[in-house]
C-alpha cells in the first residue's frame, strides 16, 4: 500500500533528495511512499542522474516547482520506468480535468510547446526512485516552459494530493487485477 503526503513547507530540490529512505528519514513514511513538496529546483551536473543531460551539459532550474518523490521497495529499473510513465499519464489526466491541453512526449509533459515537467527514474541498492517536478513559476528557466499557475492551477496542494491519489488507485487496481486473473496451463 502506497503511503502519500503533501508537505506544506518549502524544500528546495537539488537532486540529493533522490536517495533510498529519504522519504522515511524526512517524513517518517516507511515502505512504498510518495511525497509532494514545493521549492526551487536547481540540479547541477554533478548531481544529475540523466546521462544525456550531463553529456549536453544541461542544468535543471526552476524558481518554483511542485516536486514529487516516489520510492518503491524493489530494484527493477524497467518497472520503475513504467511507473514513471504511469505517473506522468496520471498528471496529464488530472490536468485534463481542468481542460488543459497537455502533450506527453515520453516522460515529459508539454503545454503549448512549453515544457511543464522534469522527471527521472533510478534505483538504489534497495529501492527504485522517481522524481517528477512540475513548474509552478517559470521565470529564469533555461528553456521554454509552462507553469501550473499560468495554467490556472491555484491550489497546488490539492492538485498534488489528487495526483498521488490517482497514482495510488492505479497501483491498487493493478495489484487487484493480478489477484483476480486465473492462470492458464500450457497447451500441448
DSSP lists the bridge partners of residue 41 as 13, 62
Q: Sign of torsion, CA 61 37 172 74?
A: positive
- Phi/psi of residue 97, nearest 5 degrees: -65, -25
> What separation in angstroms does the CA of 58 have from each of 91, 102, 175?
24, 24, 38
- The packing angle between helices 156-180 and 77-96, to 10°, is 130
Predicted confidence at residue 142, as pLDDT, reads 87
For the chain, helix (H) and strand (E) counts, in that order, are: 4, 8
Predicted confidence at residue 183, as pLDDT, reads 84
Predicted confidence at residue 185, as pLDDT, reads 83
Rounded to whole angstroms, the Cα distance separating 93 from 113 reads 18
| Cβ(35)–Cβ(87) below 8 Å | no
Predicted confidence at residue 43, as pLDDT, reads 86
Predicted confidence at residue 73, as pLDDT, reads 98
| Cβ(113)–Cβ(182) below 8 Å | no
Domains in the chain, please, with CATH? 3-180 (3.30.930.10)
Predicted confidence at residue 20, as pLDDT, reads 98
What's 121-166 look like in SS3? EEECCCCEEEEEEEEEECCCCCCCECCCCCCCCCCHHHHHHHHHHH
Predicted confidence at residue 40, as pLDDT, reads 97
pTM: 0.93
Q: State the 10-residue block means of pLDDT for the chain, 188 residues long.
A: 97 96 98 98 74 64 96 97 98 97 96 96 97 96 94 97 98 93 79
Cell readout for 22 is 529519504
Amino acid at each position: 500500500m502506497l503511503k502519500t503526503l503533501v508537505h506544506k513547507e518549502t524544500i528546495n530540490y537539488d537532486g540529493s533528495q533522490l536517495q533510498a529512505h529519504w522519504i522515511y528519514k524526512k517524513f517518517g513514511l516507511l515502505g512504498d511512499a510518495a511525497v509532494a513538496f514545493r521549492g526551487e529546483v536547481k540540479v547541477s551536473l554533478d548531481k544529475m542522474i540523466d546521462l544525456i543531460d550531463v553529456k549536453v551539459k544541461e542544468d535543471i532550474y526552476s524558481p518554483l516547482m511542485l516536486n514529487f518523490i516516489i520510492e518503491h521497495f524493489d530494484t527493477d529499473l524497467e518497472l520503475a520506468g513504467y511507473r514513471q510513465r504511469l505517473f506522468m499519464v496520471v498528471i496529464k489526466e488530472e490536468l485534463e480535468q481542468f481542460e488543459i491541453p497537455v502533450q506527453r512526449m515520453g516522460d515529459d509533459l508539454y503545454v503549448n510547446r512549453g515544457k511543464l515537467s522534469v522527471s527521472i527514474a533510478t534505483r538504489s541498492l534497495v529501492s527504485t526512485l522517481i522524481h517528477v517536478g512540475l513548474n509552478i513559476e517559470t521565470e529564469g528557466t533555461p528553456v521554454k516552459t509552462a507553469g501550473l499557475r499560468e495554467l490556472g492551477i491555484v491550489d497546488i496542494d490539492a492538485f498534488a494530493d489528487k495526483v498521488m491519489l490517482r497514482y495510488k488507485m492505479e497501483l491498487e487496481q493493478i495489484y487487484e487485477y493480478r489477484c483476480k486473473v486465473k492462470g492458464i496451463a500450457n497447451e500441448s
